[in-house]
Amino acid sequence: MPTDTESGTSLLVARQPLFDRSLDIIGYELLYRENALATVADSHELSMMTHVTLASAVLGIGLEPLVGSTPAWINLPQDLLEQDLWHALDPRRSVIEVHETTEPTEPVVSALRRARAAGYSLALDDYLPDGKTAGLVGEAQMVKVEMTYDHDLIRRTVAQLRRGHHLLLVAEKVETPNDFEFAYELGFDLFQGWHFGMAETVSGRDMPPVVASVATAMQRLRNPSATDADIEASFQADPTLVIKLLQLANSASYGFRNVTSARKALQLLGRGKLYQWLAILLVACVPRRSGVDDEHLRIALERARFCELIGGRIPGAEDASAYFLSGLLSRMDALIGVPIATVLDRVHAPQHVRDAILGGGGVMAEVLRLSDAVERAQFADARKLADALGVDAQLHAAIVESATWAADTRASLA
């Protein structure tokens, strides 16, 4: 998400989902990194600029492409709380996070009470019993506790917060399955962390039937000896697949109308483009059991479009559609729990796409690494990678456009 500071430096913003105990997504925290502005004078000015820019970017772009219909969790420092900056945000679409360095002063308490009276929800970030925000517990509805702390300290913190308070407790920095299990058993209400975006590969698991049907059709499209009738037969074997293909073909995202058969889609698109569409269906057909699966789908679609946009702007790079495939297929292990090499075999992925995904070198592999850095809000690394690829100026627009495209595509396949 782009926005410019007075120094001419653009900030990048990513987001990370929060899940409830049923693993449904209940919101996204907007993430930013100040170290991308290391050339700016002092830390106080930097904090002010970063947070003002964040709020301006949210207002400029709109929350829908970023967080859908769920609230955005936005971290504000003490000086901006006291200035009532939250007035710029919609209380129905926002949760204000109180930074851990905030002092429990009278102006802060007054500001928080004004915010609550205006309908805003408040969360204390990175809470510790002896931290600065301990005196603000009575003003908040939610408290976030890092799972990186000592387990005994976390237990004591939870016990203290449960006594005499009606609070939602958020386990943040949930990085591993053990972190999640520990937080769940302690009774945390909400969960946040990179654990939920990681692949979970289960030995011996095979592709779900509808996904296997898509994979078969993709194989035939990549087979030069397969006829159009052979390819159409792949669709006819699974009516669900035909329906999803026609939904996608006739969606606003692609501009076609009255596409009534797989053969018609093949005639309009050609094999190369239809293979790309099938790759979209490959991720869209995966059964989704929880919000975690929905998040994996979002990441896969955004990653595909991001890689396509970046790949298409690299001087002398290969066909941008190959970058799209690399981004999309690189997240299939997270979606279906099947080893990535197996997925690539089943769909007959082009060799250069396969090499890039499996850790090879080259420009495509670097674009995948850039996508990784953006997704994990490692923006200092992202800028270095983008600069090396010659696409730093296009980075912001690619992030925004990929989010919008993914949201539209998901809606067309719903």
Give the pLDDT score at 112.
Answer: 96
Place 251 in a pLDDT band, splitting at 50, 70 and 90.
low
Residues 292 and 325 in one domain: yes
Q: Taking residues 263-277, what's their average pLDDT?
A: 78
Which residues, other chains included, contact 243 with Cβ-Cβ below 8 Å and sequence gap of 6+?
Answer: none
162-175 as b/e: b if 16+ CB within 10 A: eeeeebbbbbbbbe
Residue 379 has pLDDT above 90, yes or no: no
Q: Is there a contact between 366 and 338 (Cβ–Cβ < 8 Å)?
A: no
Residues 80 and 219 in one domain: no
Place 361 in a pLDDT band, splitting at 50, 70 and 90.
confident
The angle that helices 228-236 and 209-221 make with each other, rounded to 10 degrees, is 170
Domains held by the chain: number: 2
Query: Which of the two residues, 284 and 166, has the higher pLDDT score?
Result: 166
- The reply to whether 300 falls in a domain is yes
What's the CA gap between 280 and 231, in Å, rounded?
Answer: 17
The CATH number of the domain where 302 resides is what? 1.10.3210.10
Place 52 in a pLDDT band, splitting at 50, 70 and 90.
low
- The reply to whether 203 falls in a domain is no
Which residues, other chains included, contact 20 with Cβ-Cβ below 8 Å and sequence gap of 6+?
Answer: 26, 189, 190, 191
Place 114 in a pLDDT band, splitting at 50, 70 and 90.
very high
What's the CA gap between 228 and 319, in Å, rounded?
Answer: 24
Which residues, other chains included, contact 376 with Cβ-Cβ below 8 Å and sequence gap of 6+?
Answer: 14, 194
What's the CA gap between 105 and 123, in Å, rounded?
Answer: 17
CA contacts within 13 A on the Cβ side of 70: 20
Q: Is there a contact between 199 and 333 (Cβ–Cβ < 8 Å)?
A: yes
Give the pLDDT score at 41.
Answer: 34
Residues 263 and 407 in one domain: yes
- The reply to whether 17 falls in a domain is yes
Strands (E), 56-120: 72-76, 94-98
Residues 358 and 395 in one domain: yes
* pLDDT tens track for 3-46: 444 434 455 677 889 999 999 999 999 876 544 433 333 445 54
Give the pLDDT score at 342.
Answer: 86
DSSP assignment of 37-48 equals GTTSS-HHHHHH
CA dihedral angle for residue 53, residue 56, residue 61, residue 66, rounded to 10 degrees: 60
- The reply to whether 231 falls in a domain is yes
| Sign of the alpha-carbon dihedral angle for 61, 66, 71, 77 | negative
Query: Which of the two residues, 151 and 90, has the higher pLDDT score?
Result: 151
- Mean pLDDT is highest, among 185-194, 215-224, 248-257, 289-298, for 185-194
The CATH number of the domain where 30 resides is what? 3.20.20.450
DSSP assignment of 276-340 equals HHHHHHHHHTS---SHHHHHHHHHHHHHHHHHHHHHTTSTT---HHHHHHHHHHTTHHHHH-S-H
Residues 26 and 61 in one domain: yes
Give the pLDDT score at 88.
Answer: 77
* pLDDT tens track for 116-152: 999 999 999 999 999 999 999 999 999 999 999 999 9
Give the pLDDT score at 11.
Answer: 56
- The reply to whether 68 falls in a domain is yes
* pLDDT tens track for 279-312: 887 887 777 778 888 888 888 899 999 999 999 8
Pairing of strands 13-20, 190-191: antiparallel
What pTM was computed for the model?
A: 0.78
> Minimum mean pLDDT among 77-86, 136-145, 191-200: which range?
191-200
> Minimum mean pLDDT among 117-131, 187-201, 204-218, 318-332: which range?
204-218
What's the CA gap between 383 and 53, in Å, rounded?
Answer: 18
Q: Residue 254 sits in which domain range?
A: 209-413
Give the pLDDT score at 242.
Answer: 75
CA contacts within 13 A on the Cβ side of 165: 20
